[in-house]
């Protein structure tokens, strides 16, 4: 199915959120990182400003800065309205209310847009749709991250997820996925099967992290190569 901008609801998180969601240590951030389904998050931009190495992968990057900005402006009010209507499903500790959430998300996405525009040769923002094979060599990266992409969309199914995870594990020895929730804030429907299918080839662990915004979303899945 074609990836159309009209179907995308861009929503981007910050470096601080990535650090908490993935329990990133001072050593982790020095690693060569690939972030899958990175969308309009400001993680890459903020890491780049600190002299760190992140490559972001997302089919969103086929579109121009202006088109992505327009789509963010079109959808932001609707998303914020949905969060307001479902405010009881979120933990309002680090982010105190819906207004602050909008401010944080828009600041992150504007930071992304400036950085995306500057990366005009698309060296750090790679347009690519998983689970297709990427152009990267085996173990080209040291750490893979997936924030609010893998496990979130039940409709993508078990095959999509196993193929995508196997491809990511080809290009890096460790993948961290956050949260372990689907769009309904429940366990992904194929989760047990996924663990069974991947369990024979990889070491898999579920770890609690210090980040919880969506209620119940405070765990990451860590997948490591056995070799």
Ligand X SMILES: C[S@@+](CC[C@H](N)C(=O)[O-])C[C@H]1O[C@@H](n2cnc3c(N)ncnc32)[C@H](O)[C@@H]1O
- The footprint of ligand X (CB under 6 A) covers 8, 11-13, 36-39, 41, 57-60, 129-130, 147-149
Closer by beta carbon to ligand X, 119 or else 196? 119
Closer by beta carbon to ligand X, 5 or else 195? 5
Residue 89 C-beta: closest distance to ligand X, Å: 16
Closer by beta carbon to ligand X, 116 or else 191? 116
Residue nearest to ligand X (CB): 39
Residue 129 C-beta: closest distance to ligand X, Å: 4
Residue 226 C-beta: closest distance to ligand X, Å: 25
Closer by beta carbon to ligand X, 13 or else 191? 13
Residue 178 C-beta: closest distance to ligand X, Å: 8
Residue 61 C-beta: closest distance to ligand X, Å: 9
CB neighbour burial string for 128-166, b if at least 16 within 10 angstroms, e if fewer: bebbeebebeeeebebbbbbbbbbbebebeeeebbebbb
Closer by beta carbon to ligand X, 45 or else 130? 130
């Amino acid at each position: 199915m074609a990836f159309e901008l009209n179907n995308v609801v861009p929503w981007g998180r910050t470096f601080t959120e990535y650090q908490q969601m993935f329990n990133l240590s001072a050593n982790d951030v020095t690693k060569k990182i690939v972030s899958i389904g990175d969308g309009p998050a400001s993680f890459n931009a903020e890491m780049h400003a600190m002299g760190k190495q992140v490559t972001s992968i997302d089919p969103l990057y086929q579109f121009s800065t202006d088109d992505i900005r327009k789509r963010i402006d079109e959808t932001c009010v609707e998303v914020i309205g949905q969060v307001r209507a479902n405010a009881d499903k979120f933990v309002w500790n680090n982010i105190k209310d819906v207004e602050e959430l909008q401010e944080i998300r828009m600041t992150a996405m504007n930071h992304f847009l400036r950085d995306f525009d500057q990366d005009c040769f698309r060296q750090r923002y790679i347009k690519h749709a998983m689970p297709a094979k990427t152009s990267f060599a085996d173990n080209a990266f040291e750490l893979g991250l997936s924030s609010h992409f893998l496990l979130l969309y039940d409709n993508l199914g078990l095959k999509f997820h196993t193929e995508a995870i196997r491809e990511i594990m080809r290009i890096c020895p460790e993948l961290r996925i956050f949260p372990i929730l689907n769009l309904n804030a429940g366990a992904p429907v194929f989760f047990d099967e996924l663990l069974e299918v991947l369990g024979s080839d990889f070491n898999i662990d579920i770890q609690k992290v210090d980040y919880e915004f969506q209620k119940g979303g405070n765990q990451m899945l860590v997948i490591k190569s056995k070799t």
